[in-house]
Every structure is written in structure tokens, then in C-alpha cells.
Amino acid sequence: MQLRPYQADAKAAAYDAWQDPAVRNVLISMATGSGKTVLFGSILADHQGASCAIAHRQELVGQISMALGRFGVRHKIIGPTKVIKHIINEQVIELGASFYDPNAQCAVAGVDTLIRRGDKLKHWLNQVTLWVQDECHHILTANKWGTAAAMMPNARGLGVTATPIRADGKGLGRHADGLMDRLIEGPSMRRLIDQGYLTDYRIFAPPSDLDLSDVTVSPQTGDYNHQKLVKAVHRSHLVGDVIQHYLRLAPGKLGITFATDVETASDIANQFNAAGVRSEVVSAKTPDRIRNEVVRRFRRRELLQLVNVDIFGEGFDLPAVEVVSMARPTQSYSLYCQQFGRGLRPTEGKTHALIIDHASNVVRHGLPDKEREWSLDSRGSSPRAKNPDDDIPLRYCVQCTQPYERLYKRCPHCGFYPEPAVRSAPEYVDGDLTELSPEVLAEMRGAIARNDEMPEAVGARMRHAGAAAVVVNSAIKQCRNRLEAQIALRESIAWWAGYQRHKGRSDSEGYRLFYHTFGIDVMTAQTLGKPDTLELAERINEVIGRML
């Protein structure tokens, strides 16, 4: 198999990293759909000596085994006998031959089976000099993926993932909570879209009555409590919404729907079938043979919908998917990107994927093709944007249901203007001063005027009130320092405003961008005391510096 240029670059970067004595384990991050399995399959094919590729689900074990077969690599499979037989059968169907060899030095293993059989495999495990772990954002020193890696003490490691970040915020680096020593970043999703390796997309987010207000987030997983999430979905009209808006937006297109649980998935599939849309449910409980046959029927367009429960999120490669329906809310940025990416594989005649978001995942996480700053450090549950503009939150247009950045007063897709329900404070209008009432603006100007009181006036007022000289002098000094800090801040704000106008943005857009970038509106910023004023001025200067 021929590697794409960016895959070859990542492979070369990994080999270069391993030349550093301080680097034992390398993480390669490449966007969903970029061909990570092909990349590490090539590395395994080149490796001289014993090697082991590890996955956490049997369908991913099968996918890796198939990739090695395409490279002509004979390998053993560490898994249940029925899984091995199933994978052999699939290779014969897809490749015309089986590449399974129980005596091969290269292995593909399910992580749980590998750990259970550790004692029996100890001799071979000590011989392994390269391990590879797919979806390696799971790997921590203290969990089962870390345990599996530790069973191969003489091996260097390679981890691959689209999103090197965890919902619980733990770091993947050896210095943090994980095992990785070096991070290699491939091209972004947007770059792959622009180069034609992935297809572009359109997003729609129909209104929903799904209420997550009482659904807590698990501190262990960083995602929604599953039981409470399922109850919230069952209380809503989400099932009917999925069918209605698929028929409205994507009739006849091949789609994957992500559901929270088997009962909901079954309800969705039943309603699809009742509406004439041939559908099947696929979950972890679906036997391998049936699941693969369902996928083949989907490829042949004998089915139009695969309704799944957390089975096609990670590692699933099916270019035929034309529409993704998100009926599974998640706090996990990784899971969100995996679901989104199912529709981005290009195929003949496909101009763009449709993403129908019933779960507000896009607003929750932002667009997945924005440039993100990855790190092996411990951090929050969402990656930081490389460009401050990329951190602008989204809203859904109530008219056309498409998402857009809150930078804009009107929907850029259809022109609809959402009239603010309240104009009494900046937080109700995204910091847009042009949207505030005249009374509120007058009040804010008054607060600025009070903050701008001259030192001489402050002194005179306090002396008139009978304040002691030492108190008066202290107040005058504080006032003078505050004004000097405000002069610096307002100069920075002026630079900011000038840059936004240079970029062609209106004052309204500039106000909104300022508010979402710095968490405060332009007028309130001019009422801050000295420490906060200087800190904000420094942040503005830093952001402008990155923009230039």
C-alpha cells in the first residue's frame, strides 16, 4: 500500500524521534479519517523483530488485522477463538486469503485478552521490541492500556489518535499521567479537507426538547453519567426528531445514527423502517458475523441507516457514509470528533457530508476542523485553539438550524437576525455594545467617568470630607496609578479595534470578538482597577501579537 505524503512524513518523524535516547514512546496525532491504521500498519510491516498492535475492541482488532493483511504481513491474533475465526473469514472475503499465522512474531491483540494471557505469553512479550496502540488517548500508566504496554519491557511504543486529549483532563505524557515522550502532529482536518483527502460538511441542528439540566458529569470519565443521560433521552422527543429531520434533510442518503442505548437505538430503527428507510441496529452485543454482514448490506445500499450504540465511534472506516445523525450527547471532545468524522471519508459523487446534530455537540465543542493546540500535559477537557478567533462559541440559527459563530449579529447562512430578549447587560448580547439600550450605555459611561476621576478632584473631595492627609495622599496615588494603567489598556483596546477594522469586521463583530476572547466587554474593561487593568492589557497585547 502506498502512503500518502503526510503519512510518510509522520512515519519519518516517528523514526527520527526514536533516535533520541530520551524518547521511547511516540504519539502521532492525525485527524479522523486520515488513515492512521494504514500508517502504523506500514510501520509494523517494516519492523524487524517481534511486534504487537493493541486495540480495545474486537472490531478494531479485526480492522488492524485487515490492514496488516493488505500489507502482506502474516500475524497471529490474540483474542477469543471465535473472534480469530471471524477475522480469518473476513480476510478471505475481502482479500482472497488469510494472513493469520499463530507462529508469527507480529501480533494483533485485544487489550483484555492480552492481559489475561500475560503469564502464558511472557516469553514472547519479552521479545517484543515494538508495540502500537490505536486510539491511544486511552493510555494512562495506571489503567489497562498502560498495563498492557508494561508487559513488553523491551519494546518502544507508538500510539496514534485523532485527539490526544482525555475528557478527564489527564495528560498523556510520561511527565503527567501517561506513557508518551514525544508528540508528532499531522495535518489538521481542515487542511485534509482542502487537499481533498477528506470531504467537506454542512451542519444542521434542529430544535430539540432534550433537557440535560439534571444530567451530571462523571468525575471518572469526564462524560455524562450514562444512566441519567439515557433517562433524559427517553423523556424527550429525540427519536421522532431523528427520523423527521433525516427525511427532511437527507432522504435516500446513507447514514449513521449515534444513540445512547440499545432501547433508544431500536426505537429509532423501528421508526426509520416504518417510514420506509431500511435500518438496522448495531451494538457491542451484535455478533461479529451479523455486524459485518449488516455493514456489507449498508455498502450495497440495501440499508440506508445504521443505528449504533458506541460501536462506530472509534476506528470505523466506511467511506460510503453521507450523513451522521448525532442523538448521543457527549462531553468528550474525542468522542465528538470521532462521531463527526464518520461522514468525512470521500467517495465518488459525494460533495459534502451532512451532520445533523440533535445533541448540541457542535455548540458544546466547536467545529472539529478548527486548528487546535495539542499537548501531552494535563489540562482541561477541551483543547485550546491555536488562533484566538477559533475559540468563539457557536449558536444555532432558529431559522435555518445551521451553526455559526456568535461573532455575528445575523446568521451568515440565511441572514436571520435573532432579536435579543434582554438588552440590560453585556452578557445578554455577547458584549455587543451596539445592542444595548441607551439607558444601559449611559449608566456604563457613568461608571467609566467615575473611574476616570482625576487625582486632584479625588484629593479635593476627600479633604472636603475631612479625611486625614495620609489617607488623601494614598487615595491620590492609587487614583494616579489606576489612570496610568487605564491609559495603557485603552491604547491596547485601540490597537485591537484598529486590527479588527483592518480585517474587515464591523464594530459589532469587534465588540463580540473582544467579549468572547477576554471574557469582558470593552466598556466594563474601562472600569477595572489597576491590577486587573494591567493583566487585561497584557493579554490583549499577547493576542494581537499572535494575530499579526
User: pLDDT tens across 387-415, in order?
Assistant: 656 678 899 999 999 999 999 999 999 99
Asked if pLDDT for residue 280 goes beyond 60, the answer is yes
Residues 507 and 33: their CA atoms lie apart, in Å, by 39
Distance from the Cα of residue 405 to its chain's centroid:
17
Whether the CB-CB separation of 254 and 321 falls below 8 Å is answered with yes
Whether the CB-CB separation of 37 and 317 falls below 8 Å is answered with yes
Question: 381: pLDDT confidence band, cut at 50, 70 and 90?
Answer: low
Strand 394-396 relative to strand 403-405: parallel, antiparallel, unpaired? antiparallel
pLDDT (0 to 100) of residue 440 = 96
DSSP-assigned letters across all residues of 458-524: HHHHHHHTT--HHHHHHHHHHHHHHHHHHHHHHHHHHHHHHHHHHTT--HHHHHHHHHHHHSS-HHH
Q: At what angle do helices 262-274 and 238-249 cross, to 10 degrees?
A: 40
Question: 284: pLDDT confidence band, cut at 50, 70 and 90?
Answer: confident
Cell, residue 58? 474486537
Which of residues 389 and 14 earns the better pLDDT score? 14
Question: 379: pLDDT confidence band, cut at 50, 70 and 90?
Answer: confident
Which of residues 348 and 307 earns the better pLDDT score? 307
Asked if pLDDT for residue 458 goes beyond 90, the answer is no
Asked if pLDDT for residue 315 goes beyond 70, the answer is no
pLDDT (0 to 100) of residue 60 = 86
Which of residues 317 and 40 earns the better pLDDT score? 40
Q: Which range among 26-35, 322-331, 371-380, 421-430 shows the weakest confidence by mean pLDDT? A: 371-380
Residues 256 and 250: their CA atoms lie apart, in Å, by 12
Helix (H) or strand (E) holding 385: strand 384-385
Of 35, 17, 34, residue with least CA distance to 26:
17
Cell, residue 473? 495622599
pLDDT (0 to 100) of residue 443 = 96
* Local structure of 373: helix, strand or coil: strand
Angstrom CA distances, 122 to 47, 114, 126, stand at 20, 10, 6
Residues 36 and 31: their CA atoms lie apart, in Å, by 8
Residues 361 and 313: their CA atoms lie apart, in Å, by 14
Angstrom CA distances, 207 to 46, 241, 242, 255, 396, stand at 51, 9, 11, 20, 9
Look at the block and give the residue holding cell 511504543: 157
Residue 169 burial class via C-beta count within 10 angstroms: exposed 0-12, middle 13-18, buried 19 and up = middle
Percent of the chain with pLDDT over 90: 82
pLDDT (0 to 100) of residue 318 = 73
Q: What is the CA radius of gyration of the chain?
A: 28
Question: 348: pLDDT confidence band, cut at 50, 70 and 90?
Answer: confident
pLDDT (0 to 100) of residue 313 = 63
Whether the CB-CB separation of 331 and 167 falls below 8 Å is answered with yes
The 8 Å CB, 24+ separation contacts for 232-236 are 233/260, 233/261, 233/264, 233/327, 234/263, 234/264, 235/211, 236/208, 236/209, 236/210, 236/211
Whether the CB-CB separation of 42 and 7 falls below 8 Å is answered with yes
Helix locations, 197-254, DSSP H = 226-235, 238-249
Asked if pLDDT for residue 362 goes beyond 60, the answer is yes
Task: Report the predicted TM-score, pTM, of the whole model to 2 decimal places.
Answer: 0.85
Q: What is the mean pLDDT of residues 258-270?
A: 96
Of 369, 361, 366, residue with least CA distance to 344:
369
pLDDT (0 to 100) of residue 286 = 86
Q: What is the mean pLDDT of residues 103-119?
A: 95
Q: Count the neighbouring beta carbons within 10 Å of the beta carbon of residue 462.
A: 18
All structural domains of the chain: 5-187 (3.40.50.10810), 192-374 (3.40.50.300), 426-547 (no CATH)
* Local structure of 114: helix, strand or coil: helix
Cell, residue 434? 451596539
Asked if pLDDT for residue 386 goes beyond 70, the answer is no
Of 225, 251, 392, residue with least CA distance to 325:
251
Q: Count the neighbouring beta carbons within 10 Å of the beta carbon of residue 351.
A: 9
Start-to-end C-alpha separation, the chain:
42
Provide the mean pLDDT of the chain.
92
Asked if pLDDT for residue 382 goes beyond 70, the answer is no
Whether the CB-CB separation of 323 and 253 falls below 8 Å is answered with yes
pLDDT (0 to 100) of residue 384 = 66
Ramachandran quadrant class, 49 (left: phi over 0; alpha: psi -120 to 50; beta: rest): left
pLDDT (0 to 100) of residue 547 = 77
